Amino acid sequence: MLELIDVHVTATDEKGTVAVLPGINLTLEDNRIYVMTGPNGGGKTSIAKTMMGIYRPSQGKILLDGTDITAKTITERARLGIGYAFQQPPRFKGIKVKDLLTIAAGYEDKNFQCELLYDVGLCAQDYLEREINSSFSGGELKRIEIASLLARKLKVAVFDEPEAGIDLWSFQKLTETFAGLHEKYNGTLVIISHQERILRLADRVILVSGGRISEITTPEKFLAEMEKIVPDCLCRADCIKGEMANAECDR
């Protein structure tokens, strides 16, 4: 179980110190799939980075199975079984796909590596011996990073927008893989996503906005509520402000 207790995160940018997460309380149970969703800039990636130790809280506590891990580094948390697949994965230059998967799993097993690549929609024959370099497309890189996280059989695995940049066919395969993971592993799965198909896999949907957890609900309730929301046309709102409510919308 992973718990975030009154976690505050601040960051410094050109405007000075900004509150990125002004107080998060969240409990993630074992053997569950959580899908974190919400508006762009709402704080999803920041919560994931805080779990992983990339962002350090200025206040609050993080507990893994009751043990305080707030002061633990990224490497220490990785050893404890927390993993994070980046929204935009870094390139591990000069290393072969098979070596990355061997390091991630902690042992070399070609059959397992083939299965992992298949799970993310990549053909093992074409990829295992390839060196990861700038010739990889964004989607290929993303899928290899996801495969390397799957290899680790983590306690808490966080996937940040796994669908981003991935074609429809591979997305289908990936959705099946996430659904199947529930049966294969005992860990907690946190998927940050905007996709309905992924949302439907969740035991619980966590809605994040304005740096806060605004709701924790079921996918059915969440999707039913979403249908009721009619997005306000910003263009029209601008027109009303400028007393041009009846003007033709040119967007």
Ligand X SMILES: Nc1ncnc2c1ncn2[C@@H]1O[C@H](COP(=O)(O)OP(=O)(O)OP(=O)(O)O)[C@@H](O)[C@H]1O
Give me the residues that bind ligand X (CB under 6 A), please: 11, 13, 18, 20, 40-46, 87
- Closest CB to ligand X among residues 39, 180: 39
Q: Minimum Å distance from CB 40 to ligand X?
A: 3
Q: Minimum Å distance from CB 132 to ligand X?
A: 24
Q: Which of 72, 148, 165, 159 is nearest to 112 (CA)?
A: 148
Q: Minimum Å distance from CB 212 to ligand X?
A: 11
Residue 46 interacts with which of ligand X, Mg ion, none, CB < 5 to 8 Å by class: ligand X
- Closest CB to ligand X among residues 182, 217: 217
Gap between the Cα atoms of 56 and 159, Å rounded: 19
Residue showing the smallest CB distance to Mg ion in the complex? 45
Q: Minimum Å distance from CB 46 to Mg ion?
A: 8
Three-state secondary structure of the chain: CEEEEEEEEEEEECCEEEEEEEEEEEEECCCCEEEEECCCCCCHHHHHHHHHCCCCCCEEEEEECCEECCCCCHHHHHHHCEEEECCCCCCCCCEEHHHHHHHHHCCCCHHHHHHHHHHCCCCHHHHCCCEECCCCCHHHHHHHHHHHHHHCCCCEEEEECCCCCCCHHHHHHHHHHHHHHHHHCCCEEEEECCCHHHHCCCCEEEEEECCEEEEEECHHHHHHHHHHCCCCCHHHHHHHHCCCCCCCCCC
- Binding segment for Mg ion (CB under 5 A), chosen from 12-20, 52-60, 81-89, 176-184, is 81-89
- Closest CB to ligand X among residues 41, 180: 41
Per-residue contact string for residues 44-63; x = within reach of Mg ion by CB under 5 A: xx------------------
- Binding segment for Mg ion (CB under 5 A), chosen from 5-13, 79-87, 112-120, 171-179, is 79-87
- Binding segment for Mg ion (CB under 5 A), chosen from 1-9, 13-21, 42-50, 60-68, is 42-50
- Closest CB to ligand X among residues 17, 31: 17
Neighbours of 100 (CB within 10 A): 18
- Closest CB to ligand X among residues 87, 217: 87
- Closest CB to ligand X among residues 45, 188: 45
Binding site for Mg ion (CB under 5 A): 44-45, 87
